[in-house]
Structure 1
Amino acid sequence: MPDKIIRIGGASGFWGESAMATPQLLGAGVDYLVYDYLAEITMSIMARAYAKDPAAGFAGDFIGAVLKPHAKAIAAQGVKVIANAGGVNPASCGEAARALIREQGLDLQVAVITGDNLLADLDAIAAAAPTEMFTGAGFPDKDKTASINAYLGAFPIARELAEGADIVITGRCVDSAVTLGACIHEFGWSASDYDLLASGSLAGHLLECGPQATGGNYTDWEDAGDIANIGYPIGTVSADGSFTVTKPEGTGGCVTVGTVSEQMLYEIGDPQAYMLPDVVCDVSQVEIVQTGPDMVHVSPAQGYPAPDHYKTCLTYGEGCRGGTSVSFYGFDAARKAQKFCDNVFVRANNILRGHNLGDFSETSVEIIGAESQFGDFAADFEPREVVAKIAAKHSEAAAIGILLRELTGLGLATPPGLSGFSGARAKPSPVVRLYSYLTPKKALPIEIDVDGKKISFQDGKGIAFDPATIQRPPPPQAPEGLDVVTTVPLIRLAWARSGDKGNKANIGVIARDPAYLPYIWAALTPDSVAQRFGHFIEGGAKSAKVEKYSLPGSHALNFLIDAVLGGGGMASIRNDAQGKGYGQILLAHPIAIPAALADQLDDNKGTVQ
Structure 2
Amino acid sequence: MAQEIRIGCWAGAWGDSSAYARQLVERGDLDYLIADHLAEVTMALLARRRTRDAGGGYVPDVVESLGPLLGRIRDQGLRLITNGGGLDPHGCAAALRAAAARAGVDLRIAVVMGDDLLDQADDLRADPRIAAALPPRPLTLNAYLGARPICVALDGGADVVVTGRCADSALALGALMHEFGWDDQAYDLLSAGSLVGHILECGTQCTGGLFTDWETVPGWDDMGAPIAVCREDGTAVITKAPGTGGLVSVGTVAEQIVYEIGDPGAYVLPDVVCDWRAVRLEQHGPDRVAVRGARGHPPTTAYKASATYRDGHRLVGTAMVGGLDAGAKARRAGHAILARAGRLAGAAGHRPFTHTSVEVIGAGDTYGRGRRNDAAREVVLKVAARHPDAAALAVLAREVAPAALAMAPGITGMFGGRARPAPAIGVASALVAKDRVRVRVHLDDEVREVAIAPGRACAPAASPPLDGSGRECGDRRGEPVPLSRIAHARSGDKGNDANIGVIARLPEYLPAIREQVTAERVREFFEHHLEGDVTAWELPGLYAVNFLLTDVLGGAGGTTSLRYDPQGKAYASMLLELPVTVPSALLDLDRPAPGGAV
Q: TM-score, normalised by structure 1?
A: 0.93
SS at match of 1:571: coil
Q: What do residues 279-320 of structure 1 show as CA deviations (whole Å, max 9, x unaligned)?
A: 000100000111111111111300001110000001111111
Partner of 2:90: 91
Deviates more, 1:249-258 or 1:123-132: 123-132
Partner of 1:546: 534
Letter in 2 for 1:36: D
Matched, 1:413 2:406: yes
Matched, 1:581 2:576: no
By how many angstroms is 1:138 displaced? Answer: 4.8
Deviates more, 1:261-270 or 1:420-429: 420-429
Partner of 1:45: 45
Partner of 1:141: 136
Matches within 5 A, 1:432-443: 432-443=425-436
Matches within 5 A, 1:80-479: 80-131=79-130, 138-142=133-137, 145-376=138-369, 378=371, 382-420=375-413, 422-468=415-461
Matched, 1:571 2:560: yes
By how many angstroms is 1:420 displaced? Answer: 1.2
Matched, 1:557 2:545: yes
Is the CA contact (8 Å cut-off) linking 1:473 and 1:552 kept in structure 2? Answer: no
Is the CA contact (8 Å cut-off) linking 2:492 and 2:500 kept in structure 1? Answer: yes
By how many angstroms is 1:107 displaced? Answer: 2.3
SS at match of 2:139: strand
By how many angstroms is 1:508 displaced? Answer: 0.1
Between the aligned partners of 1:322 and 1:104, the Cα distance in structure 2 is 43
Residue-pair matches, total: 590
Letter in 1 for 2:31: D
Between the aligned partners of 2:210 and 2:47, the Cα distance in structure 1 is 29
Between the aligned partners of 1:472 and 1:187, the Cα distance in structure 2 is 35
Is the CA contact (8 Å cut-off) linking 2:236 and 2:292 kept in structure 1? Answer: yes
Change (3 A) 1:604 1:454: closer
Change (3 A) 1:389 1:121: same
Between the aligned partners of 1:436 and 1:423, the Cα distance in structure 2 is 33
By how many angstroms is 1:225 displaced? Answer: 1.7
Q: TM-score, normalised by structure 2?
A: 0.95
By how many angstroms is 1:365 displaced? Answer: 0.8
SS at match of 1:292: coil
Between the aligned partners of 1:338 and 1:46, the Cα distance in structure 2 is 34
Between the aligned partners of 1:595 and 1:40, the Cα distance in structure 2 is 44
Q: CA RMSD of the aligned region, Å?
A: 2.2
Between the aligned partners of 2:56 and 2:85, the Cα distance in structure 1 is 10
Between the aligned partners of 1:485 and 1:275, the Cα distance in structure 2 is 40
Between the aligned partners of 1:305 and 1:604, the Cα distance in structure 2 is 38
SS at match of 2:401: helix
Between the aligned partners of 1:212 and 1:327, the Cα distance in structure 2 is 31
By how many angstroms is 1:80 displaced? Answer: 0.5
Between the aligned partners of 1:390 and 1:474, the Cα distance in structure 2 is 39
Letter in 1 for 2:549: I
Between the aligned partners of 2:49 and 2:576, the Cα distance in structure 1 is 40
Between the aligned partners of 2:362 and 2:264, the Cα distance in structure 1 is 34
Between the aligned partners of 1:439 and 1:316, the Cα distance in structure 2 is 18
By how many angstroms is 1:102 displaced? Answer: 2.4
Letter in 1 for 2:63: I
Deviates more, 1:424-433 or 1:210-219: 424-433
Q: What do residues 183-215 of structure 1 show as CA deviations (whole Å, max 9, x unaligned)?
A: 000000000000000000000000000000011
By how many angstroms is 1:527 displaced? Answer: 1.0
Between the aligned partners of 1:480 and 1:440, the Cα distance in structure 2 is 45
Partner of 1:18: 17
Deviates more, 1:382-391 or 1:200-209: 382-391
Q: What do residues 511-559 of structure 1 show as CA deviations (whole Å, max 9, x unaligned)?
A: 0000000001100111111000001112xxxxx4111101000100100
Is the CA contact (8 Å cut-off) linking 1:129 and 1:139 kept in structure 2? Answer: no
Between the aligned partners of 1:102 and 1:239, the Cα distance in structure 2 is 36
By how many angstroms is 1:426 displaced? Answer: 1.8
User: Unpaired runs of 5+ in structure 2?
Assistant: none
Is the CA contact (8 Å cut-off) linking 1:223 and 1:253 kept in structure 2? Answer: no
Is the CA contact (8 Å cut-off) linking 1:479 and 1:518 kept in structure 2? Answer: no
Partner of 1:541: none
SS at match of 1:175: coil
Between the aligned partners of 2:454 and 2:373, the Cα distance in structure 1 is 57
Letter in 1 for 2:258: L
SS at match of 1:570: coil
Change (3 A) 1:529 1:601: farther
Letter in 1 for 2:92: C
Is the CA contact (8 Å cut-off) linking 2:134 and 2:307 kept in structure 1? Answer: no
Change (3 A) 1:160 1:505: same
Is the CA contact (8 Å cut-off) linking 1:479 and 1:519 kept in structure 2? Answer: no
Letter in 2 for 1:125: L
Runs of 4+ in 1 over 6 A off after TM superposition: 471-475, 478-481
Matched, 1:593 2:582: yes
* 1:506 aligned to which of 499, 505, 516: 499
Between the aligned partners of 2:418 and 2:189, the Cα distance in structure 1 is 53
Letter in 2 for 1:180: L
Between the aligned partners of 2:393 and 2:590, the Cα distance in structure 1 is 51
Between the aligned partners of 1:495 and 1:206, the Cα distance in structure 2 is 17
Letter in 1 for 2:581: A
Letter in 2 for 1:30: L
Between the aligned partners of 1:223 and 1:253, the Cα distance in structure 2 is 9
Partner of 1:60: 60
Between the aligned partners of 1:294 and 1:603, the Cα distance in structure 2 is 16
Is the CA contact (8 Å cut-off) linking 1:377 and 1:532 kept in structure 2? Answer: no
Between the aligned partners of 1:343 and 1:379, the Cα distance in structure 2 is 19
